[in-house]
């Protein structure tokens, strides 16, 4: 039926269901993105000349055993680096 209108009580009911849905699942979405335990990234091997970049003007040589910190990058243009996550 074109132009049919829903009763006001039904619109309120649908609104309450949507509000409940958002209230229940919004916090769950934040928890799903969070890691419950910290993860450590460590270089387990380097073949070639890899550089560790941390925002300073002078990069350092990436070597086995280095622990990566948030924001650090590894330049592997002339190397292969293997990382281990724990």
Q: What is the pLDDT along the chain (86 residues), one digit of tens a residue?
A: 566 676 767 777 888 888 888 887 777 766 666 666 778 999 999 999 999 998 889 999 999 999 999 889 999 998 999 899 88
Q: Which of 83, 1, 86 is nearest to 44 (CA)?
A: 83
The 3-state secondary structure of 4-46, one letter per residue: CCCCHHHHHHHHHHHHHHHHHHHHHHHHHHCCCCCCCEEEEEE
| Predicted model pTM | 0.55
Q: How many CB atoms lie within 10 A of CB 43?
A: 19
Pairwise CA distance, residues 69 & 6, whole Å: 56
């Amino acid at each position: 039926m074109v132009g049919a209108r829903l009763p006001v009580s039904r619109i309120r009911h649908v609104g309450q269901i949507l509000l409940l849905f958002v209230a229940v699942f919004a916090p769950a979405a934040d928890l799903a993105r969070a890691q419950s335990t910290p993860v450590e990234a460590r270089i387990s091997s380097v073949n070639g000349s890899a550089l560790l970049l941390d925002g300073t003007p002078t990069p350092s040589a990436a070597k086995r055993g280095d622990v990566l910190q948030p924001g650090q990058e590894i330049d592997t243009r002339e190397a292969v680096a293997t990382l281990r996550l724990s």
